[in-house]
Amino acid sequence: MLIAFNKPYDVLSQFTRELPTHKTLADFDFPPDVYPIGRLDRDSEGLLLLSDEPAWTDQLLNPRNSHPRTYHAQVEGVADDETIQILTRGGIKLDDHLTLPCRARLIEPTYPPRDPPVRFRKNIPTSWVELTLTEGKNRQVRRMTAASGHPTLRLIRVAMGNLSLQRLDLAPGAWRKLTEAEIDLLATRPTPRLPSSSDRLRRSTSPGGRGRHRFGR
C-alpha cells in the first residue's frame, strides 16, 4: 500500500510526539502499520509518501536510483538567470558533500498564503524557484538557495517522479491511497524482499516511529 499525504507546515514527519505541542502524523488518522518514506522538515510542506512495504524506501530514496523529487521554493530577493546557473551546475558545498547538478527554473505559482504567514523582510521582494533533485541531503534545498544568495522562506515538495500534487488534487492535511496508475508514475516498482536481521534490529531501535516497526530514515 502506498499513501500520498499533503503535509502541512508545522507537522513532523513522524508518529512520535517529542513535545505535547507538536503536530505529527499521528494526528491524521492513517491506517495502522504505515510509515513515512523519507521525510519533510517540520517547516516544509507538500507531498509525503507513506507505505507498509519497506522495499519502497530503498527504491525511492537510495541515491543510486536517481529518483527525482521536485520542489517549489519561495526565496528572499529576486532570483535571476545567474541564480539558476548556480543551482543547476552543482558543486555547492554542504559540509563534506558537493551537490550534484540539478534542474532549476524560475516560476510564478499562485499558492494561497501559508498559515502561519511567511515572515517577510520589509521592502525586500520575494520570488519562486523550481528545483528537481536526485539526492536528498539534510535541508538541501534551503542550503542551496542560501548559497545562491536567496534564503528560502517557504518550501513545498510538489512531485516525486512523475507523481505530482497537482494530479493528486490533495488539500493540505489530506491523504489517500494511490491507484495503480498513480503508483506507476513514481518509478519502477521495487522487488519485495524479506527483512534481514539488521532490518529488524533497526526498526526495533529507531526513534520517531511506531514502536518496533519503523523503517525509512
Q: Could you report the per-residue pLDDT of 147-204, keeping only the tens digit for each? A: 999 999 999 999 999 999 999 999 999 999 999 999 998 876 655 544 544 444 444 4
Select which of 10, 29, 33, 41 is catalytic.
Answer: 41
Q: Is the dihedral of CA 68, 71, 75, 81 positive or negative?
A: positive
Residues of each domain in the chain carrying CATH 3.30.70.1560: 68-160
pLDDT at position 200 is 44
Closest CA to 49 of 159, 213, 171, 211: 159
Other beta carbons within 10 Å of 73: 25
Contact 57, 76 (CB under 8 A): no
pLDDT at position 166 is 94
Contact 170, 5 (CB under 8 A): yes
Q: Could you report the per-residue pLDDT of 100-151, keeping only the tens digit for each? A: 999 999 999 999 999 888 887 778 899 999 999 998 888 999 999 999 999 9
pLDDT at position 54 is 87
Residues of each domain in the chain carrying CATH 3.30.70.580: 1-67+162-217
Is pLDDT at 210 greater than 80 in this prediction? Answer: no
| 41 is annotated as an active-site residue | yes
Q: Could you report the per-residue pLDDT of 95-108, keeping only the tens digit for each? A: 888 999 999 999 99
- DSSP lists the bridge partners of residue 107 as 128
CATH 3.60.70.12 fits 68-160, yes or no: no
CATH of 1-67+162-217, one of 3.30.70.580, 3.30.70.270, 3.40.50.2300, 1.10.10.10: 3.30.70.580
Q: Which three cell numbers stand for residue 112?
A: 494561497
- Say how many Å lie between the first and final Cα of the chain, rounded: 18
Q: What are phi and psi of 147, to 5 degrees?
A: -65, -25
Please tell me the distance from the alpha carbon of residue 86 to that of residue 120, in angstroms, as a whole number: 24
Q: Which three cell numbers stand for residue 210?
A: 511506531
The stretch 16-32 carries a mean pLDDT of 93
